[in-house]
Chain A
């Protein structure tokens, strides 16, 4: 049987952000630890815009980032298919410790939840977050990590790929479907002009799109059993992280200038008259 290993010496030549302990390829698809990374965010619709252009979420309700719901469900489906364990991880400020958030996430299927909560992580950049998630995945003993394509607040669409690169694992984004194969995962990835069907060796990190599934609403039993599932707090020092170095610094966050539009409603006695007037306006504006 062909085996491929992540070569120890290759890992050691990578930058300090890489891990010196490589994970050997997992040949056995059963009984995997499937880790899903989940972000808790202030509900984007609750944004308040101030007169000076600044924005605030001070009164927002927090929730699971909507794109992570598909990731959790993808993890559930894979766990059921392979007899694996689904473990959720979330990183953020102490707001993520809210019991309603933990229960909501656990009611969607994960067997347990790990939280890395530290107020220094409020608005931490993707470099910091992916470093922490990679270390957590390693500590938990993940065989596969599943992420949403991006988070509902910032939608950077890179955290999953950063985690994979830091771990030195097979890493793919924009995954629309995942199937368990014989010692590998068979995935589909939709590019701009074609669909790639790929064989992914384990361990792997996959970022999934919203096309992958429609997450079901948790039923009463799932909601009730959520509070009985274990939640483990992991500190940064548990993960061997002694300091957090920012990679980018936020200079400002402001509501964009809104474009003034004419707001002209075109009407007429008949559809034909209205349509003719509409076309006339567009011609005058030079866009026809």
Chain B
């Protein structure tokens, strides 16, 4: 199979190239790269055959490069086009899919070649079911996230960097300004230890308790969906751990004051160990945990922080 890869999240790139190489068997892997010439050359080290180099983003939106990307996919017709999961990634997936006449798969868990066809699986119904779909066209467009594959091993590359001319979009969306986002827990997707903050928390001061524990664990704090979108949301706009948000695969996931809805459980149950703290002994989360403490987190979290410090 021939595979193309694009991501605007450089943290995912090595893993996606690894995944593409595995999928392609002996076929060709091409990375579409937005960045400096050095970035493009460095990606050769991951064993891609070709780097289609779009140039630097500069003042442009990532979306401004979509006509260029569409043209590449239409002319090269790869069997698979993997796109890294991100806001812009999803825009690219939808627009490329429309342009080449297919339906993209988002939140892809696994891609397989079977009987000369390609299938992709992903979760639906908030995580209550896994659906496998078979591609009927020429190119599978699939969004993949962290955990899709193992990172590509650096290799001595014979990769060729091919500069790609920019195709000016016909319709121009103009960037008026960029606003800083308050620093968010974007490290949660790849952290080895995660403390989940749930609806039981009612103030930022209480969230500090979770942050202290996470710091002691060398981990990150994650949020459940009600915390980021509730009425009113405690941590508005933050990414949340959920089937339609971030999926995590840490060694340890500690869900605190989280009820245990399917969409959250599914997004966290690939953790090696799941533990939970909840003052409601009947909370569903206990059923999905290896270890649980029935307690008020305001007492349990400081005690755990202290115990972990002592155990080091």
Q: Give A residues with C-beta under 8 Å from B.
A: 4, 6-7, 10, 14-17, 44, 47, 49, 55, 125-128, 130, 150, 152-166, 168-174, 176, 186, 188-201, 210-211, 214, 246-256, 259, 261-267, 271-272, 274-276, 278-283, 285-288
A248 touches B311 (CB 8 A): no
B295 touches A274 (CB 8 A): yes
Name the prevailing secondary structure of the B interface residues.
Answer: mixed
- Chain B residue nearest to A67 in the complex (CB): B244
Min C-beta distance of B13 to chain A, whole Å: 14
Bound complex: CA of A190 vs CA of B97, how far in Å? 23
B179 touches A195 (CB 8 A): yes
| A157 touches which of B90, B124, B308, B311 (Cβ 8 Å) | B90
Q: Which residues of A contact B300 (CB under 8 A)?
A: 271, 274-275
B178, CB-defined interface residue at 8 Å: yes
Bound complex: CA of A196 vs CA of B294, how far in Å? 43
Min C-beta distance of A131 to chain B, whole Å: 8
| B123 touches which of A10, A126, A197, A256 (Cβ 8 Å) | A256
B178 touches A127 (CB 8 A): no
List 9 other contacts, CB 8 Å, given A17-B98, A55-B125: A55-B129, A155-B243, A161-B93, A165-B94, A247-B136, A262-B291, A265-B291, A272-B303, A288-B252
Q: Which residues of A contact B100 (CB under 8 A)?
A: 15
Name the prevailing secondary structure of the A interface residues.
Answer: mixed
Q: Which residues of A contact B9 (CB under 8 A)?
A: 192
Bound complex: CA of A193 vs CA of B126, how far in Å? 26
A170 touches B173 (CB 8 A): yes
Query: Which residues of B110-124 have CB atoms within 8 Å of chain A's CB atoms?
Result: 119, 123-124
Q: Which residues of A contact B178 (CB under 8 A)?
A: 194-197
Given the known inter-chain contacts A198-B176, A266-B292, please indicate yes or no for A283 contacting B102, CB distance below 8 A. no
- Chain B residue nearest to A198 in the complex (CB): B173
Contact with A along B126-142 (1 / 0, CB 8 A): 11111111111100000
Q: Which among A6, A171, A192, A246 has the greatest number of chain B C-beta atoms within 10 A?
A: A192
| A271 touches which of B105, B134, B288, B299 (Cβ 8 Å) | B299
- Chain B residue nearest to A163 in the complex (CB): B98
A156 touches B104 (CB 8 A): yes
Min C-beta distance of A6 to chain B, whole Å: 6
Given the known inter-chain contacts A168-B170, A267-B293, please indicate yes or no for A195 contacting B95, CB distance below 8 A. no
Bound complex: CA of A281 vs CA of B172, how far in Å? 57
B269 touches A275 (CB 8 A): no
Bound complex: CA of A222 vs CA of B107, how far in Å? 38
Q: Which residues of B contact A288 (CB under 8 A)?
A: 217, 252, 308, 311
Given the known inter-chain contacts A158-B90, A172-B91, A192-B9, please indicate yes or no for A261 contacting B274, CB distance below 8 A. yes
| B87 touches which of A16, A156, A160, A192 (Cβ 8 Å) | A192
B106 touches A282 (CB 8 A): no
Q: Which residues of B contact A281 (CB under 8 A)?
A: 290-291
Min C-beta distance of A173 to chain B, whole Å: 5
Bound complex: CA of A271 vs CA of B279, how far in Å? 13
Given the known inter-chain contacts A156-B106, A197-B178, please indicate yes or no for A6 contacting B170, CB distance below 8 A. yes
| A279 touches which of B90, B177, B289, B308 (Cβ 8 Å) | B308
Bound complex: CA of A247 vs CA of B308, how far in Å? 52
Query: Which residues of B248-302 have CB atoms within 8 Å of chain A's CB atoms?
Result: 251-252, 266, 269-270, 272-275, 281, 286-295, 299-300
Min C-beta distance of B211 to chain A, whole Å: 18
Q: Which 4 A-B pairs have the closest CB atoms?
A: A161-B94, A158-B94, A165-B98, A275-B303
B90 touches A161 (CB 8 A): yes
Q: Which residues of A contact B231 (CB under 8 A)?
A: 214
Min C-beta distance of A159 to chain B, whole Å: 7
B275 touches A278 (CB 8 A): yes
Given the known inter-chain contacts A15-B101, A191-B88, A263-B289, please indicate yes or no for A153 contacting B94, CB distance below 8 A. no
Min C-beta distance of B182 to chain A, whole Å: 10
| A192 touches which of B86, B123, B170 (Cβ 8 Å) | B86
Q: Which residues of A contact B61 (CB under 8 A)?
A: 196, 198
In the assembled complex, 17 residue pairs joining A and B whose CB atoms fall closer than 8 Å, in A order, are A44-B125, A126-B104, A152-B126, A155-B126, A155-B244, A165-B95, A166-B98, A172-B91, A173-B87, A191-B88, A198-B61, A247-B135, A264-B290, A266-B292, A285-B272, A285-B273, A288-B252
Min C-beta distance of B178 to chain A, whole Å: 5
Q: Which residues of B contact A162 (CB under 8 A)?
A: 94-95, 97-98
| A267 touches which of B123, B193, B275, B294 (Cβ 8 Å) | B294
Q: Which residues of A contact B129 (CB under 8 A)?
A: 47, 55, 253-256
B98 touches A161 (CB 8 A): yes
Given the known inter-chain contacts A264-B291, A287-B272, please indicate yes or no for A191 contacting B176, CB distance below 8 A. no
Min C-beta distance of A142 to chain B, whole Å: 15
Bound complex: CA of A197 vs CA of B272, how far in Å? 40
Q: Which residues of B contact A275 (CB under 8 A)?
A: 293, 300, 303-304, 306-307
B180, CB-defined interface residue at 8 Å: yes
A255 touches B128 (CB 8 A): yes
Given the known inter-chain contacts A263-B289, A271-B303, please indicate yes or no for A173 contacting B90, CB distance below 8 A. yes
Given the known inter-chain contacts A158-B97, A194-B178, A246-B136, please indicate yes or no for A253 contacting B130, CB distance below 8 A. yes
B128 touches A264 (CB 8 A): no
- Chain A residue nearest to B183 in the complex (CB): A193
